[in-house]
Chain A
Amino acid sequence: MPITVSLTVNGKPASREVEPRTLLVELLRDHLGLTGTHVGCDTSQCGACVIHLNGRSVKSCAVLAVQAEGASVLTIEGLATPDGTLHPMQAAFREHHGLQCGFCTPGMVMSAVDLLKQNPRPSETEVRDWLEGNLCRCTGYQNIIKAVLACAEATAPAASAG
């Protein structure tokens, strides 16, 4: 029996009728046309589908759309400002070439943004540990880590004064 799901996506209200078995990532991609969130593995290992659900990073292939009723969702499309200015994490990934084919990038960026919200100045080890749930098949990890650390350096509230 179809169910109506109403939620906020990237700050805007959205409402769609879905089957209960519809995944959140399917709602985002197929019903709302937000194809920046990727599906890599379909077994919740790879993290390409990471989005923020009520402010915390989750794998949107392991959440039903109906579980997001009333929730606030942030996807990669919601990071940049309306005038196109990249989010500092996106800018850092570009600056440090934190991608190769780019398929894992939306999930990497969303996961990394959540990390810096909780831990504004992570160590390299903490960044690597945090990104455990995000796989880069190109093995581009070195520059991904570099980008996250550079973003932390640039944006941390108490950036080191020396």
Chain B
Amino acid sequence: MYAFDYHRPASLAEVARLLASREDAKLLAGGQTLLPTLRQRLAQPTDLVDLAQVDELRGLRAVDDGLLVGAMTTHHTVSASPVARRVIPALAELAGGIGDPQVRNRGTLGGSIANNDPAADYPAALLALGATVRTNKRAIRADAFFTGLFETALDPGELVTAVQFTRPDRARYLKLRSQASRYATAGVFVATFGTAVRVAVTGAGACVFRWTDAERALAADFRPDVIDGLTLDPGDLNGDIHASAEYRAHLVKVLVRRAVNQC
């Protein structure tokens, strides 16, 4: 690992000052992606700004029509939270399936979505639930937040403070894990709000995306077989040693059918 300076600020204002004053400062949330990346010398930040002491980033609570989850909330906390389990059980279940127990004890919601790994689980939840990402500067709708491979709408110096989730009528997240890495080969989050249906797909493309054809078909008739005639273009999907793009296109369809069945 290359050398860096380490900071442990106690407020968002102090975080912002550090980000603005250092040449190439990176934020350290749970560190479950960043630290392995640094160990492999794939990044060389001048400074790490540890968010662990920033109280403004903590907390998980029910709000009017959903949940408000602080950026530094660990996956374990979400999965074990009685509030999360009551308000959006599919979200708690998703959090309980990220990585392994040790990763879930450290990894955070904010870290996961700011990193936007193409195979991460949380981005599918945010997109399907129409969540709003709160930052230290503004609120960003999930549809505008995930912009590409490891890319988000966050500006330099901007950080996620919390995510606001709206409670769906029905929701289900299903994924097929790679046998080796345990990341999602493909994962789908299906959610319904009244007559509207949202279907988000992770692991299959360069970035999480909504499968709008499936959404329209399911909104008209919420049954698994209404997507039988639909196809995802493998040209838009990932093909790698674990699964071809054609396999992923098929897999997404299978997962959506199952998720609808279990909604």
- Considering the complex, which residues of chain B in the window 132-176 have a beta carbon less than 8 Å from any beta carbon of chain A? none
Question: A1's closest neighbor in chain B, by CB?
Answer: B5
- Considering the complex, which residues of chain A in the window 110-137 have a beta carbon less than 8 Å from any beta carbon of chain B? 111, 114-115, 130, 132-134
Query: Is B3 a contact of A21 with CB atoms below 8 Å?
Result: yes
Interface 9-residue window, one of B101-109, B110-118, B219-227, B234-242: B101-109
Query: Is B1 a contact of A57 with CB atoms below 8 Å?
Result: no
Known: A62-B35, A132-B182. A47 touches B3 (CB 8 A): no
Query: Is A21 a contact of B2 with CB atoms below 8 Å?
Result: yes
Query: Is B36 a contact of A44 with CB atoms below 8 Å?
Result: yes
One digit per residue, 1 when the CB lies within 8 angstroms of any chain B CB and 0 when it does not, for chain A 15-31 equals 00001110100000000
Could you tell me the distance between the alpha carbons of A56 and B106 in the complex, rounded to whole angstroms?
9
Within 8 Å by CB of B102, from A19, A21, A58, A66, lies A58
One digit per residue, 1 when the CB lies within 8 angstroms of any chain B CB and 0 when it does not, for chain A 48-60 equals 0010010011110
Please give the number of chain B residues whose Cβ is less than 8 angstroms from any Cβ of chain A in the complex: 27
Query: Is B103 a contact of A42 with CB atoms below 8 Å?
Result: no
Query: Does B93 touch A at the CB level, under 8 Å?
Result: no
A-side contacts of B3, CB under 8 Å: 19-21
Query: Does A43 touch B at the CB level, under 8 Å?
Result: yes
- Considering the complex, which residues of chain B in the window 26-58 have a beta carbon less than 8 Å from any beta carbon of chain A? 28, 31-32, 35-36, 38-40, 48, 50, 52
A-side contacts of B1, CB under 8 Å: 21, 23
Could you tell me the distance between the alpha carbons of A1 and B106 in the complex, rounded to whole angstroms?
25
Query: Does A91 touch B at the CB level, under 8 Å?
Result: no
Query: Does A67 touch B at the CB level, under 8 Å?
Result: yes
Query: Does A3 touch B at the CB level, under 8 Å?
Result: yes
Query: Is A67 a contact of B31 with CB atoms below 8 Å?
Result: yes
One digit per residue, 1 when the CB lies within 8 angstroms of any chain A CB and 0 when it does not, for chain B 67-81 equals 000000000100000
Question: A24's closest neighbor in chain B, by CB?
Answer: B35
A-side contacts of B105, CB under 8 Å: 53, 56-58
Query: Is A133 a contact of B102 with CB atoms below 8 Å?
Result: yes
A-side contacts of B100, CB under 8 Å: 47, 132-134
Residues on B facing A (Cβ under 8 Å): 1-6, 8, 28, 31-32, 35-36, 38-40, 48, 50, 52, 76, 99-103, 105-106, 182
